Chains A and B, each alone.
Chain A
Amino acid sequence: MKTAERVASEPQAQPASPVRPRNRFRRFLSLVDLKASPYLLVSPYFILFLIFGAFPLGFTLWVSLHDWQLAGDKEWIGLDNYQFLLTNERFRMTVVNTIGMFVLATVPQLLLALMVANALNKRFRGRLLIRLGVLIPMVTSVVAVAIVFSQIYGTKYGMVNWFLGNFGVDPIDWRKTSLASWVAISSMVDWRWTGYNAIIYLAAMQAIPRVLYEAATVDGASSRRQFWHITVPQLKPVIIFTVFISTIGGLTLFAEPMMFNSGRLDGGTTGQFQTVAMYIVQAFRERNNYGLAAAAAWLLFALIVVIALANYLVVNRIRESR
């Protein structure tokens, strides 16, 4: 059709046929569309990321190299803030606290999630309801949970101590020691996320080919062996994923430890459960020291990267057994 039109309109000087320019234009447009539209489609994300992601990251670095208050002069001090933090006992304690709570909040949680998923992988009635029941903790407000759990862990009036008291255990001051406070706070995180991770593992478990299990059963493997040598290795990618997500959540704990001490940022009388996130907020909110807060934020970032890598290396060593 196009050829005929061209032939027809070529020799004479005709009033410009509306077809030809539109044709070229349309082709040009669709070329542009083909080449450019993917970039246009992904651009909203990247624009937002540049403004609210990349720029703040860079700016944090910039602020951390200064003695920075909101009002007043910003003085360049180079790496002084970092030097201070890395040699400061209190900051080092917050790092230890953060890692400790992260371990207590992640390892039991994921192990429990694996076992719960395994249990859920059987046949029984009301599967959807059970799954919903297991997921309910995920739906609750973070601060609400922290408040309720903190009350349950009250020293004098909390239910946990009352329960333990029935067995002759002295009331534990859950806020006094590092370990007790870490256990209490981690239990909040474990409670919230075990069900969610269990459902994720369940889905992945259901995709494992039955043949593997049958073959193993023929070989005489016990169900426990099958679990650890078939199920878990098959779940490796999912486990890596959940470990990664939990790492980020665990290393940035903020709401739970804060509400555990009635909304204060000091993390206990000696800072025994102050996390790095709390330290950051305290530095710029209470001490008006934005440079120090920014430096602490970058150190937190470094910590996340290091630990995420370490996690990956550890989990990656789950090998399948043939």
Chain B
Amino acid sequence: MSTVTSRTRADAATEPADRRPTRRLRPRRNRSGAGVHVWDATPLTRIAIGATIILSIFPLYWMIVVASRDASAATTFPPPMTPGGNLADNVSTAINDDSSNLVKGLINSFIVSGTVAFSVVVISTLAGFAFAKLRFKGSTVLLAIILLTMAVPLQHIGIVPLYIMMIELGWVNTLQAVILPFLVNGFGIFLMRQYTIQAVPDELVEAARIDGASTLRIYWNIVLPAVRPGIAVLGLLTFMQNWNEFLWPLIALSPDNPTVQVAIQQLTTGNYSADYSMIFTGTLLSILPLLIVFIAFGKQIVGGIMEGGVKA
């Protein structure tokens, strides 16, 4: 069905020179005129998208429903489908529960993820600039090495020695133990390299050189302002990714100094282990910061992912 429609529209869009003019409909393009399929959304498409959205949101909705009710909500059949009124109470109990240290977890995660995001941005813009605009011996080799390092999931393969190192340094249960290993993030360098290549014209760099600007000045005055959107995207994505790190913080931190993922894991073994409304309240609280970031910066995040995908 959609085939017939699309063929007709495609026909209408092509030059009449080769075909019988079938001026049935106006050709459709999107605003920017880029290569977009001219197929319209069919009912089937709408259903598919609708189903996808519903499935995407349902577990979150279920979380809200249970979190806003009491413990019995998770064990009643048929399951309740509407939120109750208990959310405020549950939130205050969850925050004050000291067996899970939820608030501490949230604060720690902010500190850790924020530091990691910031540091990764700095490192990636510096190195990305170098790979994008500077010629130096061995740059290809180094870039290849970075690509290889992206292939290694460090926190899984290196977990034993990382832990031993932290013990030797006395850094077990400290925040630096969960910050430093995550600064090794090759993806950021690739992303910033792409952005820099695109956003900073070679001529500008050459001209600055001739004027006697040092590399650092070029970086600071020319590159950084130009790749600002890339910085925003990289920072956001890194923050979100680091917020979700679980394995290494679980090993390196103690329950009294957790990051948020570890804190909500403790909810399932602590004082409220049988009370799903409390557990889900905790999980809801752990998602909230990311959701807020996502809603506030959604457009940039979507844009960033799409750009990253094209360049891959």
Contact = CB atoms under 8 A, between A and B. Distances in A.
Chain B interface size, under 10 / 10 to 19 / 20 to 34 / 35 or more: 35 or more
B181 A199 contact: no
Contacts of B14: 214, 218
B35 A143 contact: no
A122 B45 contact: yes
B3 A144 contact: no
Interface in B20-47: 28, 30, 34-42, 45-46
A35 interface: yes
A280 B45 CA distance: 44
Contact of B136 (A38, A139, A159, A214): A38
A172 B74 CA distance: 18
B139 A38 contact: yes
Nearest to B260: A141
Which DSSP category, helix, strand, loop or mixed, fits chain B's interface? helix
B207 interface: no
Contact of B35 (A131, A209, A259): A209
Contact of B130 (A41, A128, A133, A223): A41
B156 A124 contact: no
Nearest to B303: A203
Interface in A12-31: 26, 29-30
A145 B57 CA distance: 12
A78 to B, nearest CB: 18
Nearest to B183: A48
A285 interface: yes
Contacts of A155: none
Contacts of B158: 52-53, 56-57, 59-60, 297
Interface string A228-241: 00000000011001
Interface residues of A, number: 109
A285 B250 CA distance: 11
B173 interface: no
Contacts of A56: 154, 157-158, 161-162, 165
A30 B184 contact: no
Contacts of B7: 217
Contacts of A53: 149, 152, 154, 158, 184
B56 A134 contact: yes
Contact of A41 (B62, B129, B276): B129
Contact of A141 (B131, B181, B276, B287): B287
Interface string A31-65: 00111011101101110110111011101100100
B261 A143 contact: yes
Interface stretch (A2-10, A87-95, A178-186, A247-255): A247-255
B175 interface: no
A66 B270 CA distance: 37
Nearest to A241: B312
Contacts of A297: 156-160
Interface in A264-309: 277, 280-281, 284-285, 290, 293-294, 297-298, 300-301, 304-305, 308
Given A63-B164, A214-B14, A139 B290 contact: yes
Nearest to B284: A144
A37 B160 contact: no
A149 interface: yes
A82 interface: no
B39 A122 contact: yes
A321 interface: no
A233 B153 CA distance: 29
B254 interface: no
B127 interface: yes
Contacts of A262: 268-269
Interface stretch (B84-92, B226-234, B238-246): B238-246
B17 interface: no
B268 A259 contact: yes
B153 A57 contact: no
Nearest to A302: B157
B167 A128 contact: no
Interface in B261-312: 261-262, 264-265, 267-269, 276, 279-280, 283-284, 286-287, 290-291, 293-295, 298-299, 301-302, 305-310, 312
Contact of B123 (A44, A116, A132, A139): A44
A52 B184 contact: yes
B265 A263 contact: yes
Contact of B10 (A151, A159, A217, A252): A217
A254 B246 contact: yes
Contacts of A298: 157
Contacts of B154: 52-53, 56-57
B96 interface: no
Contacts of B35: 206-211
10 contacts: A37-B134, A41-B126, A45-B189, A52-B184, A140-B59, A141-B283, A142-B246, A203-B310, A208-B35, A217-B7
